[in-house]
Amino acid sequence: MAVTIRDVARVSGVHVSTVSRAFSAPHLVNPETRVRVLAVADDLGYRPNRAARALTTGRTHNLGLIVADIANPFFPPLIKAAQAQARLRDYHVFVADTDEDPKVEEELIQTLTKQVDGVLLCSPRLTNRTIERLRQEVPFVLVNRRVKGMATVLMDVGRGARLAVEHLTGLGHRRLALVTGPSGSWTSKEMQEAAAAMSEVDVAFLGPNPPTEQGGRAAAAEVIASGATGVLAYNDLVAIGLIEGLAERGVHVPGDISVIGVDDIVAGRLGRPKLTTIAMPTATAGRIAVDMLLQSVDSEVATGVTMLETALIIRESTGEAHS
């Protein structure tokens, strides 16, 4: 005969409801008790019926995680951290990729609504109005996008951009270029505002651009035409592509132009020159976003903003300006 929840409760010496909470709401169970219950369940071969539990509790114990481009190395650390944090609370995560297309993003949200208890939107490309409308159907937490009144996890790219500009001006650069990302990107907006506030430098804003290596390579001619000796790129992929595009045109980094990226992806540390970059705490953002979303799912409406600190990592792609 199949092992039941009552069997687990009897062998564990606890009430059936405690076994249920050990699987469905582990944060409500004493850690030692939960470990004992799960060990007994494993020994007996008990597996909770998720479909039946969803019918009785109204919870699927699934979360949606929607990213702008799963091929972008910025997202995998966030995804892995979010999945690990969700598993601690007995939740599964469905990951979906919008390919930077807001129409696909809206369709994915509408599709997931009936299958998940909440959705993490990472670097969404939808308008604020659309996000506000869709949130009526399922709890949201945003990552790297600010919408008034919504729970949000932000990485302080504005601070990072200021550190980057200060680093370049300290090396003698006075004419800079900011190679921005997609239209409507919160990260681009924050970088532009930070750079524009630095009165001691002249900044050319070049964009919008695809947030890819190809986008960076395509921006090389415009960077050269701008006369900039220092460049802050939307992300590391754009920075790497830009360095390649400049090299194809006989412009050397950092000898002729200094380049700074954003994200601190592995590829930036392996190339030559090694990329100076703004490190983003993506894994921490993933864990915090899951906690905020589950707080909202538990009817404790989460509307706060968590701002995570960024850091400038100086490597080989920046150097002194040459007149």
Q: Is residue 314 part of a domain?
A: no
In terms of residue numbers, what domain contains 27?
5-48
Residue among 50, 96, 144, 92 nearest 290 (CA)? 92
Q: Is residue 18 part of a domain?
A: yes
Cis ω before 31 (30° cut-off from 0): no
pLDDT tens digits for 16-55? 889 888 887 777 899 999 999 999 998 988 877 665 555 4
Mean pLDDT, the chain, as a whole number?
91
Tell me, yes or no, whether 142 and 67 share the same domain.
yes
Residue 306 near residue 152, CB atoms below 8 Å: yes
For the chain, how are helix, strand and coil distributed in percent, rounded to 5? 45, 15, 35
Q: Is residue 317 part of a domain?
A: no
pTM recorded for the entire structure: 0.82
**Distance of alpha carbon 78 from alpha carbon 1, whole angstroms:** 42
Domain count, the chain: 3
Q: What is the CATH number of the domain that holds 43?
A: 1.10.260.40
**Of the ranges 2-16, 257-271, 295-309, which one carries the lowest mean pLDDT score?**
295-309
Q: Is residue 206 part of a domain?
A: yes
Q: Is residue 55 part of a domain?
A: no
Tell me, yes or no, whether 269 and 170 share the same domain.
yes
Tell me, yes or no, whether 126 and 39 share the same domain.
no
**Distance of alpha carbon 251 from alpha carbon 247, whole angstroms:** 5
Q: Is residue 56 part of a domain?
A: no
- Give pLDDT, residue 58: 57
Q: Is residue 255 part of a domain?
A: yes
Question: Is the pLDDT reported for residue 216 higher than 90?
Answer: yes
- Percent with pLDDT over 90 in the chain: 76
How far apart, in Å, are the Cα atoms of 164 and each of 173, 261, 264, 277? 11, 9, 13, 8
Question: Is the pLDDT reported for residue 279 higher than 80?
Answer: yes
**Order of strands, edge to edge, in the sheet holding 258-263?**
202-206, 175-179, 230-233, 258-263, 276-279, 311-313
pLDDT tens digits for 105-152? 999 999 998 889 999 999 999 999 999 999 888 889 999 999 988 999
- Give pLDDT, residue 301: 64
**Distance of alpha carbon 32 from alpha carbon 3, whole angstroms:** 22
Tell me, yes or no, whether 220 and 299 share the same domain.
no
Tell me, yes or no, whether 34 and 126 share the same domain.
no
Q: What is the CATH number of the domain that holds 142?
A: 3.40.50.2300
pLDDT tens digits for 222-257? 999 999 999 999 999 999 999 999 999 999 999 999
Residue 28 near residue 21, CB atoms below 8 Å: yes
Tell me, yes or no, whether 261 and 290 share the same domain.
no
